[in-house]
Chain A
Amino acid sequence: MYGKGLRALSISTVVAMALALALVFFYAPLEAEQGFLQKIFYLHVPLAIVALCGFVLGGLLAIQHLRTRDPRWDMRSYVVIHMSLIFGVATLITGSIWAKGSWGHWWVWSEPTLVSFLIVFLLYATYQPLRFAIEDPERQSRYASVFAVTAGAFVPMNFIAVRLSTAYLHPRVLGSSSNLPGPMKLTFTVSLLAIALLFATLCKYELTAKHTRQQVRALRRRLAREGDAAPRRGRSAVPSLQGVSAMSAPSSGRTGL
C-alpha cells in the first residue's frame, strides 16, 4: 500500500526538521557579509534544489509510464510534479524575501538564476491546465508524460546554461567557488535532508490520499453496478487508476514513490 511506512517517514521528517531548525539558529555561525539574513539560505536553497530535483524525478517517472503504460507511474509523476510546484512557490517567495533584505529589491530581472527558475516554474505551471484540457484519460496521461519528460530534460539544461553565464549576482552555495565552513556545511546538509524528507512525506501523503479516493470510487461503482446510477468520472486533471483495479494494492516490492 502507498501508506506503508508513512508513520516512520513522518516521524523522521519531524525529527529532521527540528534538528535542522536547531542547527540553523543555535549552531551555525553568522555569515560575515550577510549576517543573520543568511539564515534564509538554509531554507531557500534546499527548497530550490528539492523542487528542481522533483521536476527531473517527475520526468523519470513519466518515462517509466511511457515504457510500461502503467497508470500508477503517471500518478506518481503527477504527484511529484504537483509537490515540486508547491516547493517552487515557496522557493520564489523565500528568494524574494531574501532579495528584498539583501539587495533592497523584491526581484531583479537581470539576474539569470532568478529568471531561469521563474521560467522553469511557469513552464510546469502549465502542466495541470494541460492535463485538464484533455478529457480522455488515456490521452491525457500520455501527453502529460511526454510533457513531463521534455520539461524534465529542460531543467538541467537550464541549470547548466545559467552556471555558464558569467554576469550573475546570485550567491553560489554549492560548487567550486563556495567555501562553506564546517558548521555551515553540516547545517546546510541537515536542512537539505529535512526538506527532502518533507517532500517525500508530502508526496506519500498525497499518493495515499489519491489511492484511497480511487478505492472509494471503485467501491461506489461496485455497489452501484446493479442500478443505472453508476457514477461517471468527470473531467479532471488527476490521473485515473481505473485500468489497474483501484481496489488492489500497488505492485509489490515498490515504494510509495
Chain B
Amino acid sequence: MVALVLGDTPALPLHTAGKYVAAAYIVVFAIVLIYVAVMSIRLSHMERDLGELLALSEQTAPEPAAAAMAEPEPESVLP
C-alpha cells in the first residue's frame, strides 16, 4: 500500500486538480463563514439582552422620569 502510494504519481491535469483545490479553499471559506454566522447570532442575542436591560433600568429608576413628567412646564410667551 505504502509502496504503491510512494510510486511516481504524475501531476494531475488542471481540469482534474482544479476541483480539489477549489474544494479545499471553499471548505475553509465556509468554515470561516459559519463562524461569522454563529458570532452574528450571538451578537443579536446580546443586543436583545441589552434591550431587556434598558427596559429593566427604566423600571427600577422611575422616580427621576416620573418627577420630570410631573413637573409643570414653564409658562411660555409663545402661542
Contact = CB atoms under 8 A, between A and B. Distances in A.
B24 to A, nearest CB: 4
Q: B-side binding surface: helix, strand, loop or mixed?
A: helix
B21 A40 contact: yes
User: Which of A97, A213, A219: most chain B Cβ within 10 A?
Assistant: A97
A100 B6 CA distance: 14
Contacts of A35: 11-14, 17
B5 interface: yes
A86 B35 contact: yes
Contacts, number: 97
B39 A37 contact: no
Interface residues of B, number: 33
Interface string B8-20: 0101111011101
Given A35-B13, A37-B12, A216-B49, A44 B24 contact: yes
Contacts of A209: 39, 42-43, 46
A108 interface: yes
A94 B27 CA distance: 8
Contacts of B56: 220, 223-224
B70 interface: no
Contacts of B9: 33-34, 102-103
Nearest to A219: B53
B12 A101 contact: yes
Given A35-B13, A102-B9, A169-B5, A97 B27 contact: yes
User: Which of B5, B18, B24: most chain A Cβ within 10 A?
Assistant: B24
A240 B75 CA distance: 55
B28 interface: yes
Interface in A187-214: 198, 202, 205-206, 209, 212-213
B20 A97 contact: yes
Given A205-B39, A223-B57, A94 B28 contact: yes
B27 A36 contact: no
Contact of A169 (B6, B17, B39, B57): B6
Contact of A47 (B28, B43, B53): B28
B37 interface: no
Q: Which 10 A-B pairs have the closest CB atoms?
A: A35-B11, A101-B20, A37-B17, A36-B17, A94-B24, A40-B24, A97-B24, A103-B5, A39-B21, A223-B56
9 contacts: A31-B11, A36-B11, A90-B31, A97-B23, A98-B24, A108-B1, A110-B2, A216-B50, A220-B53
Given A32-B11, A100-B20, 6 more contacts: A37-B21, A169-B5, A202-B32, A219-B53, A220-B53, A223-B53
